[in-house]
Amino acid sequence: MRRRLIYYAILLTPLLLLVLAETNPSDVTPINWDLYHSSDDLMEQINSLVHRHPDKLSIEMIKSGNKGYNAEVNVVTYCRGGRDSDDRSNFRILLTFGQHGRELITSELAFRILSILSEEQFLPKKNGAALNSTLDKLVIKMVPIENQNGRKRVESGDLCERRNGRGVDLNRNWGVDWGKKEKDYDPSEENPGTGPFSEPETQIMRKLAISFDPHIWINVHSGMEALFMPYDHKNITPEGLPSQKMRTLLEKLNKFHCHNRCMIGNGGGSVGYLAHGTATDYIYDVVKAPMAFTFEIYGDDQTSPRDCFKMFNPVDLPNFKRVLNDWSAAFFTLFQLGPLHLDGNSSKAADKWVSIDEYLDGYLVERKNRYGKNMEVIDVGMQEIKTYFRLFLLSSVLLMFMFCSRIAKSKYSRNPIPVSVMP
């Protein structure tokens, strides 16, 4: 009997040690409050930033609730130059951060972007004049913390929580392909709610998206480094030119700001699993934003999946700074390039605001996309086409000048009309 006990003890000890190691909280990284704001502090900072810059920023709080559950979403609007932010001719960009509670870094990025927009902080290596002329045409609406209730749970120690205050994943609660479950469905991660738009936060965001009708939508997350376009619920990207425009833009951002590390493609295909009822699919398919993206700005795939703060957020100062610097620069590049990549009805606000060179660049990018195989030919011919276009303009002006001077001459050669009979 005794021998058997010793035998079991020897057998079970490693197992016990393993269980203890798994449950030992000391291997889970706590939130680094030296780097991160609490959600209350962050909203307070953003509120005072807005009040310091009433010429550029404004803020509104939208509330909603059902079945005893209430949520509020703060929306910051950036619009400068005394324009009416509701004017439909503006180029409109809608950004949301902190849709998942545990992804604290995304809301820090929101604050950084707002600080740069209000000119309290600056981007290194950016052409200020070019940036200013871009920003004069935009209206940007930002939701710094979409999921405030879920975020509160994370702050009180539930570091792996991504869902809202009553356990629903806000990025599975939208109306496109809602409720479909994959084989590896885990309700502690992806609970889609009791129906599409059952959650107050999603209702508020849908209302905001429909009323603002953005040209560009970006849902900012963390957990990996990726630039995603539709679709999340099927393993294809939309067909045709709009899709190619989105991809071209993402490729540029990847090259300039992600050191080509970011995964690019449709959310559903690239991550290896499909996601149903996501915000980006709804805003692309139903709200009809010409460009709809999900950006994933940071991820530590070397860490244990239980160590959520470390997996989803940079934990040391150099990485924290790098992520905010790289991604705020990426957003300002997008503010510049986004309008140039859209044309026709969707670029109504972009009319008359690019130089001929910029226009030709944009035009040729589109040609490249449409005729993928002719890419090299057009690339080589770009300079020549620009030169021909300039020559064409110059000769047109000369012709006009000659024509006008001829008319003037023939006029003067006729007998002048007496001044008195002129009306």
Q: Could you list the residues that contact Zn ion (CB under 5 A)? A: 100, 221
Which is it for strands 263-266 and 224-229: parallel, antiparallel or unpaired? parallel
Least separation in angstroms between residue 224's CB and Zn ion is 9
Structure token digits, residue 38? 């609490």
Q: Would you say 112 and 328 are in contact if contact means Cβ atoms under 8 Å apart? A: yes
Q: How many residues make up the chain in this entry?
A: 423
296 part of the active site: yes
Choice between 57 and 308, CB closer to Zn ion: 308
Least separation in angstroms between residue 170's CB and Zn ion is 9
If you write DSSP's letter for every residue of 47-61 in order, what string do you get? HHHHHH-TTTEEEEE
Choice between 100 and 172, CB closer to Zn ion: 100
**Which residues, in sequence order, are CB contacts of 394 under 8 Å at separation 6+?**
none
Least separation in angstroms between residue 216's CB and Zn ion is 19
Q: Would you say 140 and 81 are in contact if contact means Cβ atoms under 8 Å apart? A: no
Using CA atoms, how far apart are residues 299 and 283, in angstroms rounded to an integer? 25
Least separation in angstroms between residue 223's CB and Zn ion is 6
Q: Would you say 309 and 315 are in contact if contact means Cβ atoms under 8 Å apart? A: yes
146, 190, 199, 296: the catalytic one is 296
Q: Would you say 96 and 279 are in contact if contact means Cβ atoms under 8 Å apart? A: yes
Using CA atoms, how far apart are residues 51 and 53, in angstroms rounded to an integer? 5
Structure token digits, residue 229? 């376009």
Structure token digits, residue 239? 């067909």
Nearest Cα to Cα of residue 132 among 56, 59, 187:
56
Least separation in angstroms between residue 306's CB and Zn ion is 17
Choice between 101 and 242, CB closer to Zn ion: 101
Give the orientation angle of helix 317-341 with respect to helix 356-370, to 10 degrees: 90
Choice between 99 and 243, CB closer to Zn ion: 99
Place of tokens 């909203």: 43
Using CA atoms, how far apart are residues 55 and 119, in angstroms rounded to an integer? 12
Choice between 149 and 243, CB closer to Zn ion: 149
Using CA atoms, how far apart are residues 85 and 318, in angstroms rounded to an integer? 37
Choice between 80 and 221, CB closer to Zn ion: 221
Least separation in angstroms between residue 260's CB and Zn ion is 23
Choice between 56 and 221, CB closer to Zn ion: 221
**Which residues, in sequence order, are CB contacts of 172 under 8 Å at separation 6+?**
178, 190, 191, 192, 193, 275, 276, 277, 278
Using CA atoms, how far apart are residues 275 and 315, in angstroms rounded to an integer? 28
Least separation in angstroms between residue 220's CB and Zn ion is 9
Which of the residues are catalytic? 296
